[in-house]
Amino acid sequence: MLRKFVGSLIVLYCFSNGFSAVAEGPIQHLHNLAGIKLYNGKEEKKFERTEGISKPFMTYFKGSKTELCYTAVRHANSVSSPTFQLVKNTFDSFDPEILILEGFYYECGRSPSFILSSIKQEEGQKHWQGGEVSFAASLAHKKGIPFVGAEPTDKAILSQLTSKGYTDRDFVFFYFLRNIPQYGRSKELSAEDQLPMLFDRDMERWDGHHILQSIPTYGDYQDWFHRHYPEKLSFKKLIDHDLTCPQADSELFFHQLSNEIELIRDTHILKVQLDLSREFSKIMTVYGGSHYRCQEEVLKRYFGTPLYLRGTPSRRFFGKKAPTAKEFFRTYKTSKISLV
């Protein structure tokens, strides 16, 4: 199964809130990122079989100076979901010094005010519009722990894409297509005739970020879509599509563009984690599980071999008994298990 995306994450918080100020400086250090790779669905399934785990799961690295908990989630919005439960249990048990979250720019700075304003509206709800990102930010804020995004800016992504022959319209049309399933899940989209209105709204936002040379029409988008995907797609299938998922061995234009974007994102996410590991000794990252698979080899080289935990934890380390996150961390404070 190709990985799907939560549009509330991919329509980056900075994008949807019109945020433009730069509060956090650029990446400060050079890092060896050899080993970063494109997402491969077949490899992910093999990983799930051999390790006995699937998303959501947590990986725990104990480096020489830094402990890293990478909470590799299946994107969710419900407080009763395994993702929300794992995020909360890991946060409470690990007691991180900083959280690294998906979906908003690193340059937005630490604990940006627009995120804090957003989560105030979601407190106490059973369904969080901002998914596990908002939920994790809320947990951190309550304890006075800073959180940051790890995303590159749209301009940085577009700059790298244009160097490879893609256009500004490829970029914004792709993101609109990617967001359609989320618009359906959030109930913003319930009928096909609503698509032009949502498209125009998104293009106005992109224009506000000075991404577009000219504002396209919905007809321009339709021509672009059918040029790259001539098959007829029903509305029911459109709001649950996986056309914009990365897929390393696919020749579909949308998959290839997604591969390029995700490689840019994963490179930046890694750099943020490695940069912050120079400042903090306990880091918790909350990102989609497939990002972890792409970054895993680089993280291993810097922090050592990880241990895994999920609702039904890795049989490789725990057998059939399923410890809680609290038991998990208590085990490593008292056990002689080698982490590297």
pLDDT in tens, 66-83: 999 999 998 888 899 989
Record the tokens describing residue 34, joined without a space. 């050899």
Q: What is the domain partition of the chain in residue ranges? A: 7-154+261-334, 159-254
Helix ranges (H only) for 78-214 are 82-94, 113-120, 131-142, 154-162, 168-185, 195-208
SS3 326: helix
- Pick from 254, 295, 289, 287: which is nearest to 38 by CA? 295
pLDDT in tens, 102-137: 999 999 999 999 999 989 988 888 889 888 999 999
Q: Which residue has the higher pLDDT, 4 or 303?
A: 303
172/150 Cα distance (integer angstroms): 20
Of 3-17, 157-171, 233-247, 251-265, which range is least confident? 3-17
- Pick from 179, 187, 107, 96: which is nearest to 137 by CA? 96
- Pick from 242, 246, 241, 243: which is nearest to 258 by CA? 246
Record the tokens describing residue 312, joined without a space. 């039904």
pLDDT for res 186: 75
296/305 Cα distance (integer angstroms): 9
pLDDT higher than threshold 70 for residue 321: no
SS3 282: strand
pLDDT higher than threshold 50 for residue 334: no
CB 303 within 8 A of CB 63: yes
Contacts of 50 (CB under 8 A, 6+ apart): none
